[in-house]
Amino acid sequence: MINWQSFLLVALASIGFTTLVVSLFSFGMRLLTNSKHALLSAKKGKASAIRSEALNRFGAYGLFALCAFALIYGIYLIVPYFHI
Amino acid sequence: MDPILVVALVVSLALFFDFTNGFHDTANAMATPIATGALKPRVAVAIAALMNLVGAFLSTAVAKTISVDLINEGVNLGAEMVFAGLTGAIIWNLTTWFLGLPSSSSHALFGGLIGAAMAYAGVAAVNFPKVVEKVLIPALLAPLIAGIAAWLATRLAYLITARSQEQRKKTGIGTGRSNFKIGQVFSSSLVALSHGTNDAQKTMGVITLVLVSSGFQSSGDHIQLWVILSAAAAIAIGTYSGGWRIIKTMGSGLAEIKPPQGFASETATGVTILASSNLGFALSTTQVASGSVIGSGLGRKGGQVRWSKAGQIVTGWFLTLPAAGLVGAASAYITMMGPFGLLADALVTVAIVAGIFWVSRRNRIGHHNVLSEVEGASEIIASPRQVRAAAGKAAKAAKAAKGNSKSEKNGKGTAK
């Protein structure tokens, strides 16, 4: 008997996890360019942009960290040694 | 012949197979980050080797698929038949590698073992339902799943980082997409890690199979530590030695893969292989990586599939298992002739291996045996630029045909 459920599990896990990681990273990239835009307007003398630059940049770092955490957690999940 | 001698022979052959596997697949993981300049070749190769080493320790599910599930309970192949299957796999693998045919070392291994088992004990020796569940269906589904994941992830990556042209012009700040190169350092490490989990385990499975069938171990449920250690080391050393090959592949067809696509497809490959290894599905990592490359190629606006090229590669994959099975069976019949048969089989294998190495050295490194097979898959996708070029060529040809009906041959404006 073929266990189709396990194939469904692989499909959902792979597609879901890949899109999650790539989306997190992409949003991080977007925030990073956002911060560059903010830096540009800050140089033009817009004071509030300095804050926006920092917010965007740290937001990006946060997303990259989340991305790394997701990967490490995913690997943790599949290593039997951690689940004895 | 002394059983210990045969076991030692099989173990060393299996480790050699593992070495060539690492050697062969370094490029699959590391060709893109090197091509995009994200990593220096030496560093990339070292990371790949380390990740393969670590990956080999992560799980043993795939090894058990080979040592327990492949052959029916109660059938004792004996070390000689495992040896025959392994030589069949190695001969088929090296021949296709030399001829530049798309093939899968994993399927060559399964084919060789199944062929030898069938030659020795008939069709009933092989546990076909398990072969279908753990090898054949994953072979069809995993590249498809990886392809869908890569396609979706590529779409999202482009969508999320999109900036309007006027905004880019006004500020001089781009989309930041080239920064995906940095992400690729991690995603390609993930591919190397997943390669270690799936491919190193196949060797562990074969070694355990021979230990069980020659009575050195009671059941294939347990993989001994020295088996894990040696398989991990062999694949890591192979990966490290494969480095010189990928240095030569730089600047080839890979330029058409942009950093976001590389990141998305590598993540899809790594995640799909890891998830599959976890459930004991013995995959061809090359096939999964190819599925991802195709998916990410289609995910970028304007990408197209060259179906004839895709058909060629997929046909090659389907041939691998039965063809390696035939070679495995032939080698089993020779081995069954007794100690001299086994000796003859070993000599033929060594001669073929040596011959191919000698000829490939003499011919220098040709285009066909240097490129990684995933790059072959990347040729299936026509990038937007290539599609435009083909359309332009076709329009020109149509124009010319209007004026002059003789210019028919120009009408075949295919992309490249």
According to the model, what pLDDT value does residue B52 have? 92
Rounded Cα distance between B18 and B173, Å, is 47
- Within chain A, what is the greatest distance between any pair of CA atoms? 70
Residues B167-177 have a mean pLDDT of 76
Distance from the B395 Cα atom to the nearest Cα atom in chain A, whole angstroms:
37
Percentage above 90 pLDDT, chain A: 45
User: How do residues B175-229 score in pLDDT, each as one tens digit?
Assistant: 778 888 889 899 999 999 999 988 899 999 999 989 988 888 887 788 889 999 9
CB contact under 8 A, B267 and A22: yes
User: Which of B171, B223, B274 is the mutation pick for testing A, counting most A CBs within 10 A?
Assistant: B274
Amino acid symbol at B256: E
Residue of B137, B149, B160 lying closest to A18 (CB–CB): B149
Q: Do A13 and B275 touch (CB under 8 A)?
A: yes
pLDDT of residue B374: 59
Alpha carbon distance A26, A22 (integer Å): 6
Distance of alpha carbon B400 from alpha carbon B281, whole angstroms: 54
Residue B161 main-chain phi, psi, to 5 deg: -95, 5
pLDDT of res. A82: 81
DSSP 8-state code for residue B383: P
Ranges B48-52, B214-218, B349-353, most confident: B48-52
- Chain A residue at shortest CA distance from B140: A7
Residue B87 to residues A43, B12, B253: CA-CA distances in angstroms? Answer: 68, 11, 33
What is the nearest CA distance from A13 to chain B, expressed in angstroms?
Answer: 7
CB contact under 8 A, A15 and B149: yes
Query: Looking at CA atoms only, how far is residue A1 from chain B in angstroms?
Result: 7
CB contact under 8 A, B146 and A3: no
From the CB of residue B55, how many other CB atoms can be counted at a distance below 10 Å?
A: 30
E strands, B299-375, where?
304-305
H or E, element range at B91? helix B78-99
Q: Are B289 and B210 in contact (CB under 8 A)?
A: no
Closest of B60, B146, B288, B183 to residue A25, by C-alpha? B183
- A22, A30, A79: residue with CB nearest B153: A22
The model's confidence at residue B49, banded by pLDDT at 50, 70 and 90, is very high
Burial class for B344, CB neighbours closer than 10 Å (0-12, 13-18, 19+)? middle
Kindly determine whether residue B267 and residue A18, on different chains, have CB atoms separated by under 8 Å.
yes
Residue of B nearest to A80 (CA): B59
Tell me which chain A residues have a C-beta less than 8 angstroms from the C-beta of B156: 19, 22-23, 26
Looking up tokens 């050393």 gives B237
Mean pLDDT of B296-301: 85
Mean pLDDT of B129-143: 89
The vertex-B311 CA angle with B393 and B146, nearest 5°, equals 105
Per-residue pLDDT, B148: 96
Chain B residue with Cα closest to A4: B133
A78 phi and psi, to 5 degrees?
A: -95, -5
**What's the CA gap between B269 and B25, in Å, rounded?**
13
> What average pLDDT does the structure give for chain A?
88
Burial class of B286 by CB neighbour count within 10 A (0 to 12, 13 to 18, 19+): buried
User: What's the first-to-final CA gap in chain B, in angstroms?
Assistant: 57
Cβ contact, residue pair A14, B277, below 8 Å: no
Give the residue from A22, A31, A64 with the most B CB atoms within 10 Å of its CB, the best one to mutate: A22
Q: Is B308 exposed, middle or buried (0-12, 13-18, 19+ CB in 10 A)?
A: exposed
Task: Return mean pLDDT, chain B.
Answer: 81
**pLDDT digit string, tens, across residues B358-413:** 876 665 544 444 445 555 666 666 666 677 777 777 777 777 777 665 444 444 44
Higher-confidence residue of B298 and B221: namely: B298
In the predicted structure, residue B21 carries a pLDDT above the cut 60: yes
- Tell me the pLDDT band of B251, cut-offs 50, 70 and 90: very low
Please report, for chain A, the start and end positions of each structural domain, with discontinuous segments joined by +.
28-79
Helix pair B307-335, B105-121: axis angle to 10 deg: 40
Which tokens is B110 given?
């399964």
Inter-chain CB proximity A29 and B177 less than 8 Å: yes
